[in-house]
Structure 1
Amino acid sequence: MEIDCTRDDGRANDPVGPAQLPPGTRLLHIGPHKTGTTSIQGALFAAQDRLPAHGVEFPGHTRHPMEAALAAVARPGMMGDAVPNERHWTTLVRQVREAGDRTAVVSSEFFADAEEDEAIARIVGQLGGDRVHVLVTLRPLAKIMPSQWQQYVQNGLRMGYGDWLEHMLRKAPYEQPNPSFWRRHRHDRLVARWARAVGTERITLVVVDDRDRGGLMRTFEALLGLPANLLQPVPDTANRSLTLAETEMLRNLNREFRGNGLPDELYSRLVRNGAVMHMKNSCSPAPQDVKISTPRWAAEAAAGIAAEMIDAITRTGVRVVGDPALLSTVPEPAGEPPQEPRIAPEVAAQALYGALAAAAEVPVRHSTPAKSRTVHQTSSAELVKVLGHRCLRRLRRH
C-alpha cells in the first residue's frame, strides 16, 4: 500500500521545513511510484473545492491524470487498457492554464517514466516553463522493491519475487523483465533528467518517513501555503498492496493466461479490474497474512544503491526536505515466509466473483450518470440478481 507519511525534519540548513512556493507556481509532482503519490492525490482531490480560496487549483476531474501523463511521456497504459492519446494531455494543459495566477498542482508518478530530455522539456514548457517547480518524493529503495514487484504482477508479470530481484540487482543490464523499474527508481538519474529542464533551484526532494503519518500532507500544505490539516488522507482499499499469497495466486493466473494466448483486453477487464479490484475492496489483509519479504542480500544491495543515489543527488544542490539517511536504511527482516503461501478460501471466492461480475458487465441504474459505480462498488445481491437475469435471457434465446 502506498504510504501517506513523511517526517518533515527539513535539512540542517532549513530546520523549519519547506518555504511556500511563489503564487502562480506550477507544482509538478512526478513521484516516482510507491512514494505516497496515491495518498497525496486523493487528499488534493478531496480538497479540490476548498483549494481556490487559498490561491491553489488542482486541475482535472479525477484524482489522478494518469492518461494525460502517459500521453505526455509516450508510454502505453496498463496491460489491455486503451492507449492514451494526445487529447488527454492537451486537456490537462488547458486546465492548468485556466488556473491563471493561482498555483496549480499536477501529480502523477508516470511523469517519472519520461526518459528523453526532449519529452521532459516539452512537458515543462507546456505546463508553464519558468513557473514549473518539480517535486520528487522518495522512500527507501528496499521498501519500494516488493511494492513494485507486486504491482508488476498486477500488470501481467509471471516472474517470482526472488528471480525478479536477481534480474534487477544481479543481471546486467538490469532491464528485464521490467525496464521501467530503474528508469523510475534510479533516483539520481531521475533528478538529473528533470534538473536539465528546470534547474536544480526548482526541484524539491521530499524524503518520505513511514514513522510520521501525515507528514507528507503537511509538507504539501507548507509548499502551497495551505492551512494546517486541510489535506487529509482518504481511505483507498483499491490501492492496497497484495499479500504474498494473493500475489502468488495472481502470478500463477498470469502464467495460465499467457500460456493460453488470451487477449490483453480480457486481462484488463476480468483480471485486473474484475478479480483483483473486487478482492482488494472486499478483503482486508489479516495480521497473520504473510507480506512480501525481501531477502537480506537484496535489501542490503538496494540500500547500497540508495546510498550512492542520495550522495549524487545532494551534490547537485537540490533542496532536500527530510532526512536523506533514511533512504539507505535496511528494513528489519519480517521473518521467514511459508514455503507455499496459501490463500484463504473467502479471498479466492471474492476474486472469482469479481471476474464473473466483470464478465457480466453489470449495468447499475442511478438518478444521475455521474454517480455510476464500478462493479466492485456494487453489492453482491445486486450483482447476483442482474447476472442471474442475464443468464436466463441467454438461455431462453437458445
Structure 2
Amino acid sequence: METDCSTPRPAAAGTAPAALPAGTRLLHIGPHKTGTTSIQGALFAAKDAMVPHGVVFPARSRHPMEAALAVCARPGMMGDTEPTEGHWRQLTELVRATGRRTSVISSEFFADAPDDETIARIADDLGRNRVHVLVTLRPLARIMPSQWQQYVQNGLRMGYEEWLDHMLRKAPYERPNPSFWRRHRHDRLVERWSRVVGPENITVAVVDDRDRDGLMRTFEALLGLPGGLLVPVPDTANRSLTLAETEMLRRLNTEFRGNSLPDELYSKLVRNGAVMHMKNTCRPAPDDARIVTPQWALEAAAGIGAEMSGRITTMGVRVLGNPALLSAPPPAASPDARQGKAPDALAIAPEVAAQALYGVLAVAAEVPLRPSAVRTVHQTPSGELVRVLGHRALRRLRRT
C-alpha cells in the first residue's frame, strides 16, 4: 500500500509551511531563473545528510536535465547530445528505488511540458498518488534580463531591447524564443499542472530576493528537514553575464551562424569552452555595465505580474510567500551612466577576453593538432579559414 500523501493544511501567516506527508515525491518544476540552480546544488550537496531524515535525492547529478528534456520531447542545448528515453527511464527507476521514503526531484525543464498528456505521463511515471508539485516564482522584471542572456548562451543573436519588443509587443509573442512564455506565463503554468494533478497537490512559492536563504528554508520545511541543512553551494559557472560579456557572445553567435559552422562545435568550444572558462575565472567588477531593462518593459512586466498573481491566488493551490511581489513596482533605474551605454560603446576587459580565448584553446588542446600540408594560414581567405578550422576541430573532438 502506498503512503498517504493527502494535502497538508495551509501554513498560518508568518509561520513555516507544514511538512508534506512522509513518502511524498516532491517534484520541483522551476521555472527557469527562480533559484533552481541554487536549490539543486544545495540538495545534491546534502543528499547524504538528508537520508537519516527520510529524504532521498534520487538523481546521479545535481540536475537531471536530460531526463526532463527527454520526457518533455525537448531538444538539448545547442550542439549538445540529444536527450533520450533512456535518460527518463533511468531517473524513474531511481525514484522507484526510494521505496516509501520521501524524495525530491528538481528540474526547471519540467516547466516546458508541452501538453496535458506529457504532464500526466510525468506524474504517472513518478507515482501520481504520491507526487506533489512545487512551482517557484520570481517577478518577471528580474527574470527577463537573466533569461535573455541565457538564450544568448544558447546561440541567440538578437539584442536585449529588440528581444523585449518581440516578447512584449509583437503578437503572438513567440519569436525568437517560444519557450519564454511557455515557462513564464506563470498563471498558465500553474493552471496546466493543476488541471492534471489537482490544485491540492500543488504548492507555489514566491521567492523574495531580499531573503537570500528563504528558498532553502522553504524546501527544508516542505521536506521535514532540520533548519540549516540546506546551504547554497558557490557556483561561479552559473553566474549571469555582464552586458559587455553578453554582447561579445551575441556577436560571436552572429559570426558563427554566418559561417555555417556546426552546432556541436558551438557547444564544445563556445558554451563549454570560452563561456564556461570566462565565468569560472572572471568575477564581474562593481562598475561593470549590467543588463538594464527599459522602463516601458518594467511597467509591462509589472502589469503581467499583477494579472498572473491575481489568477494564481484563485486556483486553490497553496501559495507560500507574498504574491504581491510578482507585481511590485519596477525598481528605479540606476544612476550609473555606464549602465546606459549603447552596446557599440561597451568595452570588454582584456582579462575577460583573454580567459574566454583561453577557454577555447584549452578545449581544442585536448586533441593534438597536425600541421596542414596544403597551404599556410596567411594564404587562406578568412572566411574559408574559419569554416575549415571549425570543421577540423569538430572532427577531432568527435574522435576524442
Considering the TM-score relative to the shorter chain, is it more than 0.5? yes
Distance 1:133 1:240 in 2: 30
Alignment partner, residue 144 of structure 2: 145
SS in 2 for 1:82: coil
Distance 1:226 1:341 in 2: 47
The one-letter code of the counterpart of 1:333 is A
Contact 1:43 1:232 in 2 (8 A): yes
Distance 2:75 2:13 in 1: 40
Alignment partner, residue 90 of structure 1: 89
Matched, 1:338 2:341: yes
Distance 2:282 2:204 in 1: 35
Distance 2:79 2:147 in 1: 19
SS in 1 for 2:146: helix
SS in 1 for 2:314: helix
SS in 2 for 1:27: strand
Alignment partner, residue 348 of structure 1: 353
Distance 2:257 2:372 in 1: 34
Q: Deviations over 1:310-354 (max 9, x none)?
A: 111101121111011011121222244222221101100100110
Write the mapping of 1:26-105 to structure 2, written as runs, cut at 5 A: 26-105=25-104
Q: CA deviation at 1:397?
A: 10
Report how many aligned residue pairs link the two structures: 360
Q: CA deviation at 1:13?
A: 4.6
Alignment partner, residue 360 of structure 1: 365
Q: CA deviation at 1:14?
A: 3.9
Alignment partner, residue 231 of structure 1: 230
Distance 2:270 2:152 in 1: 11
SS in 2 for 1:51: helix
Contact 1:17 1:321 in 2 (8 A): no
Distance 2:49 2:298 in 1: 42
The one-letter code of the counterpart of 2:293 is T
Write the mapping of 1:148-297 to structure 2, written as runs, cut at 5 A: 148-297=147-296
Distance 2:75 2:47 in 1: 28
The one-letter code of the counterpart of 1:323 is N
SS in 2 for 1:349: helix
Distance 2:60 2:10 in 1: 35
**Would the alpha carbon gap of residues 39 and 210 (structure 1) be closer, same or farther in structure 2, given more than 3 Å must change?**
same
Q: CA deviation at 1:361?
A: 2.4
Distance 1:185 1:295 in 2: 19
Distance 1:233 1:327 in 2: 24
Q: CA deviation at 1:130?
A: 1.1
Q: Percent identity?
A: 73
**Would the alpha carbon gap of residues 12 and 225 (structure 1) be closer, same or farther in structure 2, given more than 3 Å must change?**
closer
The one-letter code of the counterpart of 1:337 is G
Contact 1:11 1:17 in 2 (8 A): no
Structure 1 gaps, min length 5: 1-9, 363-389
Alignment partner, residue 325 of structure 1: 324
TM-score of the two chains, using structure 2 as the length reference: 0.88
